[in-house]
Amino acid sequence: MSDHRFRRISRRTAERLLRDAHGRTRATGHERLSDLLAAASAPARDRELAGEQAAVVAFRDARLATAPQRRRPRMLKIALANVLTVKIAAVAAAAAGGIALAAAAGTLPGQRHEEPAPAADTNVVATTSVTTKDKPNSPDKKPDNSASPSPSLKGLCQAYTAGAGSEHGKAHENPAFSALITAAGGADKVPAFCAGQLDDKPGKSDHSPGKPTKTER
Amino acid sequence: MPRVQSAAGFGDSGEISGVVWSPRRSSAGKSIADTGAEEALTAARRGDEAAFRALYRDVQPKLLRYLQVLVGADAEDVASDAWLQIARDLGSFRGDVDGFRGWATTIARNRAMDHLRRQQRRPVVHGTVEDVAEPAGPEDTAQAAVDSVATDAALALIAGLPRDQAEAVLLRVVVGLDAKAAAKVLGKRPGAVRTAAHRGLRTLAAHLEATPPPGQTPQE
């Protein structure tokens, strides 16, 4: 039966078969192959769409998941920034504590402008932690070894105040603000507490929005 | 490594969504149905559920048939996984409907490769036409395949091809991609994919030739 071999398919015919499988154009001399390809690409059968509802649910879930995410990043960013502030300040206070304390105590008067071994950022943060230690109102809440909470409270206050307009309700739920709420003595006391915190240090809050630097004027 | 191959064109699943598919690649073949699909894609990207449904109905059978050849009976599970990702990343997809088909196929293929890797076994397709056709009897299979509704039989025959040929034929014929888009899915050069598809067709034709056509007795 197969003493005559099948007709060899030219590249051109092959391309046509591949392209026109949907169009049902049958290549002359290759009808059976055309039929086979047409069968392979035949319209959907019901059982092939069995997963439709699950896919639609996934689509719905994906939409629901992305909607809140659009609001979240801002609060997360703020919270993250504060956590970072705390950490950097703490690390810097621990690592460069000696230098910072020495600088604060004025025991290294000649070296202050010379910027010794620690890098510039260390000095900046060390200065921050030192200056916060100078504040009279923070030490009465926190012991001496936790120099960082003060800037973090201030940062939290700034974040809280900045977000108060738009995300007012959410701020209380955000775990990042729990420290602030605790420090203030209650969620309702936060605004007053923050007003005190921010007003207290006008010189330091150079990056707090909308706040003129009264002392320098 | 399949992962490397597929990554060549699209990166991993995370980056895939940012890929911009060149639009209107086969505009000559654009039908009214494609215009409708185009609108469905736009609407689905904006979150329209009915439009997403339409996309699913268009693409899912194609994916499923392709996956069937890659992972056999697990095709539906792998397809479900793929749709989870498609549903999640659709919002960030950029391109036209042809691009969407290629993009979705790449996701499906990546999921299939993950699946195979997890199973630590080779893909279903690796033998010859005869190997796969054996259980049902090669002649029965071939006979049924020429019937226009015998989709499974046709797929079984294609599945019997060497894997690169089977994939090339399926991507072109069943998924409906052109050589370039199919090459992108496979992480190969278009020329290589074209050659593999042509070889696949010749093998299929040879197989059909060796079996009696429908309506004729085997004696003939």
Domains of chain B: 33-123 (1.10.1740.10), 125-220 (1.10.10.10)
A120 shares a domain with A22: no
The predicted structure's pLDDT at residue A149: 46
Tell me if A51 and B209 make a contact (CB, 8 A cut-off).
no
The predicted structure's pLDDT at residue B124: 57
User: Which of helix, strand or coil describes residue B20?
Assistant: strand
Query: In this model, does residue B178 exceed pLDDT 60?
Result: yes
The predicted structure's pLDDT at residue A146: 42
User: Contact, A10 vs A28, CB < 8 A?
Assistant: no
The predicted structure's pLDDT at residue A42: 85
A119 shares a domain with A25: no
Return d(Cα B169, Cα B22) in angstroms, integer. 22
A79 shares a domain with A179: yes
For residue B132, give the amino acid letter.
V
Candidate from A14, A37, A40 with C-beta closest to B198 = A14
A109 shares a domain with A15: no
A175 shares a domain with A92: yes
Residue B107 makes CB contacts below 8 A (sequence gap 6+) with: B13, B16, B82, B85, B86, B89
Return d(Cα A177, Cα A157) in angstroms, integer. 9
Residues of B in contact with A1 (CB under 8 A): 212, 220
Residues of A in contact with B91 (CB under 8 A): 62, 66
Q: Is residue A161 part of a domain?
A: yes
In chain A, how many domains are there?
2
Q: Is residue A61 part of a domain?
A: no
A93 shares a domain with A196: yes
Q: Is residue A193 part of a domain?
A: yes
A67 touches chain B (CB under 8 A): no
pTM for this model (two decimals): 0.55
Q: Is residue A173 part of a domain?
A: yes
A153 shares a domain with A89: yes
More confident residue, B54 or B23: B54
A83 shares a domain with A26: no
Q: Is residue A49 part of a domain?
A: no
A169 shares a domain with A116: yes
Q: Is residue A207 part of a domain?
A: no
Residue in the structure block whose two tokens are 């736009």: B42
**Segments forming the whole domain that contains residue A173:** 72-200
Q: To probe the interface with A, which of B158, B173, B220 has the most A CB atoms within 10 Å?
A: B173
The predicted structure's pLDDT at residue B214: 60
Of A108-122, B104-118, B160-174, B178-192, least confident by mean pLDDT is A108-122
The predicted structure's pLDDT at residue B198: 95
Q: Is residue A36 part of a domain?
A: yes
User: Contact, A158 vs A64, CB < 8 A?
Assistant: no
Q: What pLDDT, in 10s, does the model give residues A161-216?
A: 766 545 445 556 666 667 777 777 777 777 787 777 777 654 444 444 444 444 44
A150 shares a domain with A82: yes
